[in-house]
Amino acid sequence: MNDFEIIFFILRSVIYEDAKSADMINAYAKKASNLPLVTKTVYGGLENKIYIDYMIRKLSAIRLKKIHNHVLLILEIGIYNIHFLETKDYATVDKLVDLTKAKNKKSTGFVNAILRAFIKDEKELAKIYETDDIKSLSIRYSFPEEITRYIYDFYGMDYTKAYLRDADRIKDISIRVNELKTNREEIKNLLVNEGFEIEDGKISPNGLIVKNPAGLVATKFFKDGLFTIQQEASMKAVEVLDPRENSKILDLCAAPGTKTTYIGEYTKNTSQIIANDISKAKNKLILENIDRLGLKNICLTNYDASTFIRDFENKFDFCLVDAPCSGLGVVGRKPEIRYNRNKETIVRLAELQREILAKAVKYVKKGGYLVYSTCTLGPLENRNNFKYLMENKDLELVQIDGQDFIEYKSFEANTDGFFISKFRKIND
């Protein structure tokens, strides 16, 4: 299996079978002869798919919807390599024509003609001719027009452009120091001695930014549980919850357990923590991290968070609802998100979040605290649900750093886009 075949299989799985790009790259990593090229082409192809399809549409007499998925995928790989990686030699075309023979033999001439025509007239074909600003932005930054318009309608043009420009930028990896086993200065020095370039976090006192993260999880320090990988905005959600030692805590939508484990570290292994998530398949990963980090008193449950769980009623001093969301704040790390989200999806998710929040309020004791967070942006999932909580007579707002809520912008904070709000329960 050559690298183009690997790229083809990964992209097919991600685009047409809802696989995750990072998982697929990891699965094929040992088979690739040039893993950096495979990784760059997979992510680049996903990040530029709409723009690439726009250029293919100019060349093809066949409508894109009529082109076989396998053939379109090969064309997308080719255009990405030619235009973005500047591999304009015809050897690349020949390799992709050979791949077409294996996947859809009757289309070899079509693929050959399209890619060679693109090389000859690339400069003109790359130009975007659209009078509608939103449509033009959608093509240029390969973001679905419906989602682009959703962001624009609420935030305006300056925000939309900044967000789209930033969406594909590789964000710095941040790690969370496990203070049960070490401290920030100690792990910083250990990693620097191993050749890692480290900076102090800008948001979390337990955060460190790693500028060259390759090989990070292979270190002894990771395996021994001295740190875990977590973006700083995600850490902030737990710090806003500010759970106390010797308390009862519920992480209602816990997978993959990153915040759950931070709660355990934050409360120094003294609290009773329930980590609940509907997906039993993710229990193994959560348990592995609990063990690696040296955590105790964490119990896993697998209830549907949108249904009432009687055993949880009025039981918890602290409840974190990091709800299932559209993930528009993390597209830089998960580029495939943009292709399986639309306005209808966002509406459904906002309704699901509200159902979960209605139940979560019932699980918090009088005097207890509820934090609602998402890794997305837009009014439906964030501010509208914040207003829903504000209107609940059993809750009172707890300000965060002098604000009613925090809404991190990825293009300003160099972290995931994130929304965080906090409430105190005042009635049973």
Known catalytic residues? 375
Residue 235, token pair as written in the block: 């850490």
Residue 51, token pair as written in the block: 């723009």
* Residues contacting 258, CB < 8 A, separation 6+: 228, 230, 234, 289
Residue closest to 364 by CA, chosen among 312, 400, 322: 312
Q: Rounded distance, CA 66 to CA 64, Å?
A: 5
Q: For residue 142, count CB atoms less than 10 angstroms from its CB and return exposed for 0-12, middle for 13-18, buried for 19 or more.
A: buried
Q: Looking at 139-229, which runs of residues are DSSP E strands?
A: 173-177, 198-200, 207-210, 227-229
Q: Are 202 and 271 in contact (CB under 8 A)?
A: no
Q: Rounded distance, CA 336 to CA 11, Å?
A: 10
Concatenated DSSP letters for 328-356?
A: TT-TTT-GGGGGG--HHHHHHHHHHHHHH
Residue closest to 236 by CA, chosen among 259, 253, 255: 259
* Residues contacting 115, CB < 8 A, separation 6+: 75, 78, 79, 82, 92, 93, 96, 97
Proportion of the chain in helix, strand, coil states, percent, rounded to 5: 55, 15, 35
Estimate the crossing angle of helix 133-140 against helix 157-167, to 10 degrees: 10
Strands 248-251 and 316-322: parallel
Q: What is the 3-state secondary structure (H, E, C) of 120-163?
A: HCHHHHCCCCCCCHHHHHHHHCCCCHHHHHHHHHHHCHHHHHHH
